[in-house]
Amino acid sequence: MTINILFAAKAERWTGYEAPLTRALTDALPGREFKLATDLPPEEVDYIVYAPNSDLQDFAPYTRAKAVLNLWAGVEAITGNETLKIPLARMVDFGLTQGMVEWVTGHVLRYHLGLDIDITRRDAKWEPRDQPLARERGVTIFGLGALGQAVAEALVGLGFDVSGWSRSQKAVEGVRCLHGDTGLTEALQRADIAVLLMPDTPATQNVINAETLAQMPKGAFIINPGRGPLIDDDALLAALDSGQIAHATLDVFRVEPLPDDHPYWAHPRVTVTPHIAAATRNGTASEVIAENIRRSEAGEPLLHLVDRDRGY
Ligand code: NDP
Ligand code: OXD
């Protein structure tokens, strides 16, 4: 029987996915017939390859569908969808992970080395300064999941004093793994540079607030490629103005695109990037999707299943 796979993402994504997804499905399902399309009768669809910003928001008519396979790592825009009753898998993709490692490492090194001082200097002042080694710089990764762990390992490789904070206890070589409410204070105190890589859930919203910002070392840096709601924006702006936080690099926001009049745009101690930290890569992501369809057809458990109650 033909496996019908609906590609439900913005139309412009189809051009990039059609060929690699077809190739990956052909490799993963030898001898099986499949149909991959952007439009199929809902009652005939077996799998939905999905982006939360697609027009598909009502899953009720997809009575035969076995799983929704998300093209994004973040699932906050779909976990609350009451019409979704079937398993939901999120994206864990080599390309996405590597992209995040490179983006975070670049911004950590920018802060660690004080690169802005030299890049923006125009006053002809020759002012040598001491450069601490990475091992003298505490970096805390808030969120030690697929992305956080990879980032932590890369920073350990560069010699940083890396801590990580998660909901449950983790073990990552070279990383001081802290967790839960009891681990939060130490995680904050060790964060000369804080990297936020948690999902947006009711439990993580505003985790960076006036109280937690005050527990970080004075003059700390914040890098947020996680999600906008992790930060209480007013509290961060106040901490930037007081010097408690020296600078923030923000890739994600409560409202995207970030509105023209948002104070982050003009703030001298904020760098805004337009949600570009890491993108799902068509080729590697297609292999992840195809592998999950193969698993489902073989009666094996899906990879990267979302716990809808936990929200990630
Ligand atoms: P994972 O689900 O693999 O990891 C999430 C981590 O956050 C886990 O370590 C988890 O703890 C921790 N966490 C969740 N809730 C809490 C909590 N209440 N307290 C403490 N820790 C918590 O996600 P990924 O690493 O794959 O992705 C992380 C996020 O990065 C995505 O949800 C998305 O928002 C963002 N993202 C941003 C991109 C960009 O371009 N800006 C690109 C891709 C992703 P535990 O391990 O105990 O479960
Ligand atoms: C994602 C993202 O969640 O790009 O994949 O933010």
Q: What is the pLDDT of residue 120?
A: 96
Residue among 275, 294, 304, 308 flagged as catalytic? 275
Q: What is the pLDDT of residue 276?
A: 98
Q: Is 267 a catalytic residue?
A: no
Rounded to the nearest angstrom, the gap between the alpha carbon of residue 133 and the centroid of all alpha carbons in its chain is 28
Closest by CA position to 277, among listed 14, 97, 84, 131: 97
Closest by CA position to 294, among listed 8, 6, 62, 69: 69
Place of tokens 């681990």: 183
Atom 6 in ligand 2: residue holding the nearest Cα: 74
* Separation CA 286–CA 308 (nearest Å): 23
- Find all residues with CB under 8 Å of 221, minimum gap 6, and list them: 111, 192, 193, 194, 245, 246, 247, 248, 249
Encode the chain (312 residues) as per-residue pLDDT tens digits.
999 999 999 999 999 999 999 999 999 999 999 999 999 999 999 999 999 999 999 999 999 999 999 999 999 999 999 999 999 999 999 999 999 999 999 999 999 999 999 999 999 999 999 999 999 999 999 999 999 999 999 999 999 999 999 999 999 999 999 999 999 999 999 999 999 999 999 999 999 999 999 999 999 999 999 999 999 999 999 999 999 999 999 999 999 999 999 999 999 999 999 999 999 999 999 999 999 999 999 999 999 999 999 999
For 213, the enclosing helix (H) or strand (E) is helix 210-215
Best of 197, 224, 231 for a ligand 1 pocket test (most atoms within 8 Å of beta carbon): 197
- Please identify, by atom number, the ligand 2 atom nearest to the C-alpha of residue 227: 6
End-to-end CA distance of the chain: 33
The pTM is what? 0.98
For each of the domains in the chain, give its residue range(s) and CATH number, in order of start: 3-93+280-297 (3.40.50.720), 96-272 (3.40.50.720)
